[in-house]
Structure 1
């Protein structure tokens, strides 16, 4: 197991601090924006589903070319520009609210453009990480970043629910905008001089995108990781999209209760991320990814039982277990795919995964809105629960399940190695 600590690197600490602020803004807005739509603009399930779809649609629209673009740019500048764009976009929502001009159309535009900025931030942050900490420290570095995501889910969504309940949704969205601005300022302190982007080898954008796709889907292990994560995201988004409607409109629970339910999932994500290294040390990387899914994925079927009283606690426990699996998968799966990818392909590999995985969120939001309109909120939750319960199968049935250790570091892209003569 790697013993290098990423915390010895000052630039990693800066990236982590900036990502902390960014995660806080993301999670506060995750709660506040749909609640603005439901409470203030009387959005129905279909409109809430459209909002969720547009928030992640950018990964389908520009996710793949974004990877090639990031591979051609210096990553710090990409991250700063993305944060500044998100700050401006979210600041426009409370301004329109106070001017009494806020519409669903503006919310749609804000979440779509915010998704475009998030594409570049996510691809850039995952691509810069190996250069900042070294590949031997990737597992603890990824564990720290996934743990941060989990803590953001706990603290950010709890704070988002509390802010909406106490001060109103516009103030909560303004706070999210402020955190993005603070994140951009923090990133200006990164001091590592980035190497010039690798030359494009006289290949066009389309050829570079195809190179990243072949790397991911031509490898049976990377393909299995992508399929399992896609099903997980599809199920989670199908559930998450309808939760504001269920809590506020049907169960008549306060916004704070919704934030706490989401925070329970964040707690599961955190514990799963923190346990990932020890589980992999005992069971092996592949067996942990396969067995944890087989044991924990069916817990997703408890979530559709959500109601007032004890059923709320039972559904919350199922949500925590499902997110525990996701936390473990994220640490080990991301580390595996980074070790299997050379530096010159990192941006495109990450973009391919983000396109597929976050594209699944867009489809999940649309599916949730459609099923919610046609069959109701409860039926939508059952669809999401079933998807979560079977998401482990691609990894469980693939060569990943037999992998004991991370692969040796790749230094040269396999698709660019000269052919044997």
Structure 2
């Protein structure tokens, strides 16, 4: 990890990501509050979050954009474009301009499906293969730290200075992220052997690679199914705090901080775990961690629930870093953007759906029943993926054939 942090390009990318994510997450919080204040409707705030999630349906097409052009160039253009889009928020003055707010949020969601895979593609080109797990773990550590700060920053800034200023601060973070990546020296990729085949055909190549490669297919399917219930926790955490711990709703913020701490710690040991057990085992451990966290959430005591939140944060880190590392290592450079876009989109969409599904099911089922459902499904996913990976440990295990 020391050598990785000594890489100037990676340091710049990490700094840019830290500032950009802090601005982005603060903006999402602020936009939800803003939509609520403009319309007086809770549904309006919910629609704002929908526009962030909807673009993940288009993630494979975004991957084709990354592979067709320079990943560094795509990153720069996307960030600078979003900085310009943020200026539209200055026109929002009342409920009649709520559509402008939704337009900006939709553009933000579209930028997310480009920036994530692009960043992972750049990491794969500036870090050695044996450093990828460390690099992805550090990226998740940063995300955990941002998760601790963003709710306070977003809500606090909105209260103090209003949504317009928060949006301008986020625009500035997009510019800073672009400037950081401008200083990153990205090695040129080998030229294409054939002319571009068209967006649909190129996107299909990414889909075929992910779902036609047994290792990648099994990881995406297992993780996608696990995340289809993992999102229940976004709704259930309020019932856990209220009915299980008998504490006020504001205590959810404390558990969110504990979860962020879990992500930070897990990110720091991701590289070690991957070198010892392999990247697919990292994903498996993450899915198993979700099951264990849900089990701890059933304990009606603070210590158990806090331990569950800590483990849940670690599980988020390991599943995300493990998925990205698995795809990076098993994908040719000229296909990496499409493969990452497909894989990340394929698991993000079920997670988004599960948040809405959990909210609906919580109206008819108790939170304990839904936690048990989470435990059963995630345990089955982790067990199946562990069975599919050969018994040997380390990277060699994952390069072997599946059962």
What is the TM-score with the length of structure 2 in the denominator?
0.82
1:333 aligns with 2:323: yes
| Structure 1 residues 42 and 379, CA gap change in structure 2 (3 angstroms) | farther
For 2:239 and 2:96, the matched residues in 1 are separated by: 20
Partner in structure 2 of residue 86 of structure 1: 82
Match of 2:354 among 360, 364, 367: 364
State the 1:324 CA deviation: 1.0
Partner in structure 2 of residue 351 of structure 1: 341
Partner in structure 2 of residue 5 of structure 1: 3
For 1:8 and 1:357, the matched residues in 2 are separated by: 32
State the SS of the aligned residue for 1:203.
Answer: coil
Match of 2:47 among 39, 47, 50: 50
CA distances 1:75-114 after superposition (whole Å, capped 9, x unpaired): 1121112212333334433x245x3356543333222211
Moved more, 263-272 or 163-172: 163-172
Residues 137 and 268 in structure 2, CA contact (< 8 A), matched pair in contact too: yes
For 1:328 and 1:159, the matched residues in 2 are separated by: 26
Moved more, 210-219 or 171-180: 171-180
State the 1:121 CA deviation: 1.0
Match of 1:393 among 368, 373, 380: 380
Partner in structure 2 of residue 212 of structure 1: 206
For 1:228 and 1:127, the matched residues in 2 are separated by: 23
| Structure 1 residues 380 and 39, CA gap change in structure 2 (3 angstroms) | farther
Higher relative contact order (CA 8 A, sep 6+): 1
Output aligned runs, 1:80-229, within 5 Å. Answer: 80-93=76-89, 95-97=90-92, 99-101=93-95, 103-192=97-186, 194-195=188-189, 198-200=192-194, 203-229=197-223
Residues 68 and 196 in structure 2, CA contact (< 8 A), matched pair in contact too: no
Q: How many correspondences in the alignment?
A: 394
For 1:234 and 1:335, the matched residues in 2 are separated by: 21
| Structure 1 residues 105 and 245, CA gap change in structure 2 (3 angstroms) | farther
CA distances 1:169-203 after superposition (whole Å, capped 9, x unpaired): 55434432322222122222223453465344563
For 1:404 and 1:382, the matched residues in 2 are separated by: 36
Partner in structure 1 of residue 17 of structure 2: 19
Partner in structure 2 of residue 406 of structure 1: 395
Partner in structure 2 of residue 419 of structure 1: none
Aligned-pair Cα RMSD in Å: 3.7
| Structure 1 residues 108 and 315, CA gap change in structure 2 (3 angstroms) | farther
Moved more, 282-291 or 225-234: 282-291
Structure 1 residue runs without a partner (length 5+): 411-421
Structure 2 residue runs without a partner (length 5+): 242-246
State the SS of the aligned residue for 2:184.
Answer: coil
Residues 157 and 260 in structure 1, CA contact (< 8 A), matched pair in contact too: no
